[in-house]
Amino acid sequence: MPSRVLVTGGAGFVGSHVVDQLVDGGHDVVVLDSLAAHGGHPPPWLHPDVDLVADDVRDPGAWRQAARGVDAVCHQAARVGLGVDFGDVTSYVGHNDVGTAAGLRVLHDVGFTGRFVLASSMVVYGEGRYRCDDHGEVRPGPRTAGDLDAGRFEPPCPRCGASLAWAPIDEDAPVDPRNVYAATKLHQEHLCAAFGREHGVPVTALRYHNVYGPRMPRDTPYAGVASIFRSAVERGERPTVLEDGGQTRDFVHVADVARANVAALTVDDPVIGPLNVASGTPRTVLQLAQAVCTGTGLAPQVVGGGRLGDVRHVVASADRAAARLGFCATEPFRPGAAAP
């Protein structure tokens, strides 16, 4: 069981909750975080008992300083969200892929042999799991701009064009990233897995589903949908829901996500490979927006349209994380109560 843990991105949304739980559990924690999202200063929630290395994960020197003497690494640092357009590609690849490669090179150089937990994402699946009445399980192709403009939001069967029913997706499903962010998260998984195989290091990739809760980023197009809705409500504006609001997701509280990370770092038998981290209760994007508006006097505004790269339905099977980590989400669904 690790005693000193490096948490990259440990001042951020998910990372800071992981830090809190690790410190509360008696672990020594070092945080590597550029603090760029916080104006260059530690945010008020950063635990005072951590060793902070305020530097960029793309800098091998920062990793070399932060990784000294650690027994485990929890790699949360990443640029997240769908992005504005393809012009963001170099930033995503730099922060996510190059930053990860820099860290793995340093861990290679220092002979690291502890556990490595990676924050991955459900976006690596692309569309979720679907079944056609006539053709069984199928993989629909990406939706087009014409589909979205015409209000054809549900992906049809690629063989007969019939309507499909979604089902929970498990970790053995084929991966099919459909935007730049998704491609970088999958590449992170591949880089870390290659490192793990070569060095005998157990690498667990936690595929987060849609995370919400305290410390969500505010007023940024790179945030998740829960954060975007909450920012709108805090401005006194109605949340804008794309498509018809029927997109199905699994919204999981950040405290549960942090518990999954701590479990992956401390469980007796380390898990090698991916695990879904989810609540196990699917909801639509419109239901999320309505919950965020609870008690505000506001109501979501459904506007149609959509964003290329978004998928229609992706809902997790959380069975493997329950079996391997003993992890089950316990936090109630209250996105409107997520304090800053």
| pLDDT at position 72 over 60 | yes
Distance CA 50, CA 329 (A): 26
pLDDT, tens only, 293-308: 999 999 999 999 998 8
pLDDT, tens only, 146-176: 999 999 999 999 999 999 999 999 999 999 9
Vertex 125, ends 56 and 260: CA angle to 5°?
60
Distance CA 328, CA 18 (A): 16
Residues 6+ apart with CB under 8 A from 46: 10, 11, 16, 19, 31, 52
Rg of the chain on CA atoms, in Å:
20
Residues 6+ apart with CB under 8 A from 93: 180, 184
Q: Would you state the structure tokens that stand for residue 29, as one six-digit string?
A: 């924690």
pTM for the model stands at 0.94
List the 210-212 sheet strands across, edge first: 210-212, 248-253, 282-284
Which stretches of 241-280 are DSSP H helices? 254-266
CA dihedral 264, 267, 273, 274 (to 10 degrees): -50
Residue whose tokens read 């007796």: 268
| pLDDT at position 198 over 80 | yes
Closest-CA residue to 18 (of 259, 224, 264, 266): 259
| pLDDT at position 338 over 60 | no
Residue whose tokens read 């499903």: 173
Q: Which helix (H) or strand (E) holds 280?
A: none
Distance CA 209, CA 280 (A): 10
| pLDDT at position 337 over 70 | no
pLDDT band of 62, cuts 50, 70, 90: very high
If you average pLDDT over residues 182-193, what whole number do you get? 97
Q: Would you state the structure tokens that stand for residue 67, as one six-digit string?
A: 């990784």
